[in-house]
Amino acid sequence: MGAFCSVIKFENLQELKRLCHWGPIIALGVIAICSTMAMIDSVLWYWPLHTTGGSVNFIMLINWTVMILYNYFNAMFVGPGFVPLGWKPENSQDSMYLQYCKVCQAYKAPRSHHCRKCNRCVMKMDHHCPWINNCCGYQNHASFTLFLLLAPLGCIHAAFIFVMTMYTQLYNRLSFGWNTVKIDMSAARRDPLPIVPFGLAAFAATLFALGLALGTTIAVGMLFFIQMKIILRNKTSIESWIEEKAKDRIQYYQLDEVFVFPYDMGSKWKNFTQVFTWSGVPEGDGLEWPVREDCHPYSLTIEQLKQKADKRVRSVRYKVTEDYSGSCCPLNKGIKTIFTIPCTEEPRIQLRKGEFILATRGLRYWLYGDKILDDSFAEGVSRIRGWFPRKCVEKCPCEAETDPAPEGEKKNR
How do residues 210-262 score in pLDDT, each as one tens digit? 999 999 999 999 999 989 999 999 999 889 888 888 888 888 788 888 889 99
Please give the pLDDT value at position 404: 44
Q: How confident is the model at residue 380 (pLDDT cuts 50, 70, 90)?
A: very low
pLDDT in tens, 17-44: 889 989 999 999 999 999 999 999 988 8
| Closest by CA position to 297, among listed 110, 89, 87 | 110
Q: What is the mean pLDDT of residues 95-110?
A: 93
User: pLDDT, tens digit, for every residue of 56-67?
Assistant: 999 999 999 999
The answer for residues whose C-beta is within 8 angstroms of residue 221's C-beta and 6 or more apart is 148, 152
Least confident of 77-91, 196-210, 245-259, 289-303: 245-259
Residues 6+ apart with CB under 8 A from 193: none
Set out the domains of the chain in order of their start, with CATH numbers. Answer: 13-80+139-176+194-232 (no CATH), 315-375+383-395 (2.30.30.40)
Catalytic residue among 129, 136, 155, 392: 129
Backbone angles phi, psi at 241, to 5 degrees: -70, -40
Per-residue pLDDT reduced to its tens digit, 112-154: 999 988 999 999 999 999 999 999 999 999 999 999 999 999 9
pLDDT at 120: 94
Q: What dihedral do alpha carbons 379, 382, 387, 388 form, nearest 10°?
A: -100
- Active site annotation includes 129: yes
pLDDT at 374: 59
- Cβ contact 216:151 at 8 Å: yes
Span 308-325, mean pLDDT? 79
